[in-house]
């Protein structure tokens, strides 16, 4: 009986084990994982920022009369193209026009001529002043040349001895300086001095006549001032030399100091040449102005004060007349003409508008999370709701506001884009769906972003599928640009052809 029970007990246990194993393998087989993967590919990764904006004209002006009155003439209608300065409308200001004409006539009457002998005398004074001024201009032009020659000599003969390759793009000071910063500054200063000399020489060569002598002197002053600053900095370095800090004999140091001082002296002489020429030219110009003014005043029967007073009256009335007109401030097209001829126009009330024609911009607001990606000159693809998503217009970022604009509680930044080409299909006020190309990496490895795992330590890894297609190995990767289409650049950690796990069920 006991043996039978033992036998049955072992039998039951064996059956139970078989059932358990059967269930285990059945469920294990039924729960096999499904692995989805994607191959590592070489191509382009593009980052874009998508925003929606409005199309506006590049320039727009709302216009009004500065004074009130009845409108006598309207010279344009909506849609007319105008040039800057064209008159758009005028008020009935006949009284002001008449007052201006009367005042101008009075001013003309006050300006009667000299007697013949007086006229000849005053003309002689003016002619003499003209001759002196012409001579001063010639002297100024020659002074600019002479000062240039002296300055060039100071650089070549007295400064370049302290440099290796002084007239190259990479001159290097060959004496001891107090710091690397000073050395770099002095080296850059020599390059700049050469550029200033070239510009100076170009200005002299382009001064084919003396009519712009004052301008030539002004430009020469700027060049020599910059070069003087370089020479002063170099002089400080040379004069700071000692036997202790340079390992040079004192006799050599003394020779260097003498050379530098000679260069400074030559440069000061060049500055003096310019200064003297400027003084002479200023005096000649002043003398000419006085002679000319005296001629005008003496050729007038009224005093200088009365003429100036009458001239002021004329100018004031001319301004009053001008306030009764509206002129186009820009080239463009008329977009609004509200009033009609004969109506009263209140001062400061806009009734006309002009906007630039053919050139439009887009104003869009980029959230703070994306603004750091955007930069001036970024290209953009634009679609307009009016024409659908198949028609793309090219644009580029031209302006980014530094201050935020809060929209619905979210800080945003206004970005302005301009269309690359004029297009008659573009209209002010249209909605522009804009994709700004912020970054693009060509010929790089990339994988789906969802395949990347962010580890606890901040590193990234992917699961690389083995050849059996059922198992995988984890590989640490270094990522690059994260694209806008769900792909990410992989800098290292995988190779082309590897398959990375994107999903496991």
Q: 393-447: per-residue pLDDT in tens?
A: 999 999 999 998 998 888 999 999 999 888 889 888 899 999 999 899 999 999 9
Residue 355 confidence class, pLDDT cut points 50, 70, 90: confident
Q: Does pLDDT of 14 surpass 80?
A: no
Average pLDDT over residues 126-136: 91
Comparing C-alpha atoms, which of 500, 490, 453 is closest to residue 43? 490
Which residue in this structure is represented by tokens 């003439």?
A: 73
Residue 134 to residue 284: CA distance in whole angstroms: 9
CA angle 426, 85, 329 (to 5 degrees): 50
Residue 210 to residue 142: CA distance in whole angstroms: 10
Sort strands 360-367 and 41-57 into parallel, antiparallel or unpaired: antiparallel
Residue 488 to residue 452: CA distance in whole angstroms: 9
Helices 304-323 and 94-110: angle between axes, nearest 10 degrees: 160
Is 379 exposed, middle or buried (CB count within 10 Å of its CB: 0-12, 13-18, 19+)?
middle
Cβ contact 366:412 at 8 Å: yes
Can you say how many angstroms the Cα of residue 106 is from the centroid of all Cα atoms in its chain? Answer: 51
Residue 280 to residue 278: CA distance in whole angstroms: 5
Q: Does pLDDT of 486 surpass 50?
A: yes
Contacts (Cβ under 8 Å, ≥6 apart) of 19: none
CA angle 295, 297, 299 (to 5 degrees): 65
Let me know if the fold of 59-93+324-355 is the same as that of 360-504.
no
Q: What percent of the chain has pLDDT over 90?
A: 48
Q: Cα separations (Å) of 122 from 67, 111, 301, 320?
A: 45, 16, 15, 37
pLDDT at res. 343? 87
Is 297 exposed, middle or buried (CB count within 10 Å of its CB: 0-12, 13-18, 19+)?
middle
For the chain, report the end-to-end CA distance as a whole number of angstroms: 54
Residue boundaries of the structural domains of the chain: 1-31, 59-93+324-355, 119-297, 360-504
Fold category of 360-504 in CATH: Elongation Factor Tu (Ef-tu); domain 3 (2.40.30)
Residue 464 DSSP one-character state:
E
pLDDT at res. 92? 83
Residue 390 to residue 399: CA distance in whole angstroms: 27
Residue 60 to residue 331: CA distance in whole angstroms: 10
Highest mean pLDDT among 23-37, 260-274, 464-478, 491-505: 260-274
pLDDT at res. 10? 53
Residue 85 to residue 90: CA distance in whole angstroms: 13
Residue 389 to residue 317: CA distance in whole angstroms: 58
Residue 285 to residue 214: CA distance in whole angstroms: 10
Cβ contact 231:150 at 8 Å: no
What are the pLDDT digits (tens) for 186-227?
999 999 999 999 999 999 999 887 788 899 999 999 999 999
Fold category of 59-93+324-355 in CATH: OB fold (Dihydrolipoamide Acetyltransferase, E2P) (2.40.50)
What are the pLDDT digits (tens) for 49-108?
999 999 988 888 888 988 888 898 899 988 888 888 898 899 887 777 888 898 887 777
0.75 surpassed by pTM: no
Cβ contact 357:348 at 8 Å: no
Contacts (Cβ under 8 Å, ≥6 apart) of 336: 62, 78, 351, 352, 353
Q: Does pLDDT of 357 surpass 80?
A: no
What are the pLDDT digits (tens) for 307-343?
788 789 989 888 878 888 899 898 888 889 988 888 8
Count of alpha carbons within 13 angstroms of residue 64, beta-carbon side: 11
Highest mean pLDDT among 21-25, 120-124, 132-136: 132-136
């Amino acid at each position: 009986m006991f043996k039978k029970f033992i036998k049955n007990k072992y039998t039951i246990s064996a059956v139970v084990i078989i059932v358990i194993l059967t269930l285990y393998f059945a469920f294990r087989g039924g729960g096999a994982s499904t692995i989805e993967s994607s191959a590592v590919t070489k191509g382009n990764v593009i980052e874009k920022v998508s925003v929606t904006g409005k199309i506006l004209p590049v320039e727009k002006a709302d216009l009004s009369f500065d004074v009130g009155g009845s409108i006598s003439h309207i010279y344009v209608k909506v849609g007319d193209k105008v040039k800057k300065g064209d008159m758009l409308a005028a008020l009935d200001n006949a009284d002001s026009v008449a007052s201006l004409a009367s005042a101008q006539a009075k001013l003309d009457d006050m300006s009667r001529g000299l007697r013949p002998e007086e006229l000849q005398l005053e003309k002689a004074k003016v002619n003499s002043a003209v001759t002196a001024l012409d001579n001063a201009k010639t002297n100024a032009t020659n002074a600019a040349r002479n000062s240039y020659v002296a300055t060039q000599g100071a650089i070549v003969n007295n400064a370049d001895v302290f440099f290796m390759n002084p007239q190259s793009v990479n001159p290097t000071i060959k004496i001891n300086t107090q710091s690397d910063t000073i050395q770099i500054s002095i080296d850059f200063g020599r390059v700049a001095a050469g550029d200033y000399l070239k510009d100076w020489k170009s200005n002299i060569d382009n001064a084919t006549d003396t009519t712009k002598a004052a301008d030539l002197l002004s430009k020469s002053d700027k060049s020599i001032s910059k070069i003087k600053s370089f020479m002063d900095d170099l002089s400080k370095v040379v004069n700071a030399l000692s036997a202790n800090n340079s390992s040079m004999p004192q006799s050599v140091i003394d020779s260097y100091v003498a050379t530098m001082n000679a260069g400074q002296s030559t440069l000061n002489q060049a500055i003096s040449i310019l200064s003297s020429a400027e003084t002479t030219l200023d005096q000649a110009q002043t003398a000419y102005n006085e002679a000319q003014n005296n001629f005008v005043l003496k050729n007038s029967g009224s005093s200088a004060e009365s003429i100036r007073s009458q001239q002021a009256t004329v100018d004031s009335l001319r301004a009053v007349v001008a306030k009764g007109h509206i002129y186009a401030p820009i080239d463009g097209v008329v977009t609004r003409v509200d009033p009609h001829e004969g109506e009263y126009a209140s001062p400061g009330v806009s009734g006309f508008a002009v906007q630039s024609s053919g050139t439009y911009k887009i104003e869009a607001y980029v959230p703070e999370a994306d603004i750091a990606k955007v930069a001036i000159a970024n290209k953009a693809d634009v679609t307009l709701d009016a024409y659908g998503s198949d028609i793309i217009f090219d644009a580029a970022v031209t302006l980014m506001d530094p201050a935020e604009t809060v929209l619905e509680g979210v800080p945003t930044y206004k970005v302005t884009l301009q269309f690359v080409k004029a297009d008659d299909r573009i209209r002010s006020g249209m909605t522009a769906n804009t994709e700004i190309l912020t970054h693009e990496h060509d010929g790089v490895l990339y994988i789906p972003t969802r395949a990347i795992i962010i580890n606890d330590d901040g590193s990234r890894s992917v699961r690389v599928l083995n050849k059996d297609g059922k198992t995988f190995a984890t590989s640490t990767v270094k990522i690059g640009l994260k694209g806008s289409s769900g792909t990410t650049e992989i800098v290292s950690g995988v190779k082309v052809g590897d398959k990375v796990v994107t999903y496991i069920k």
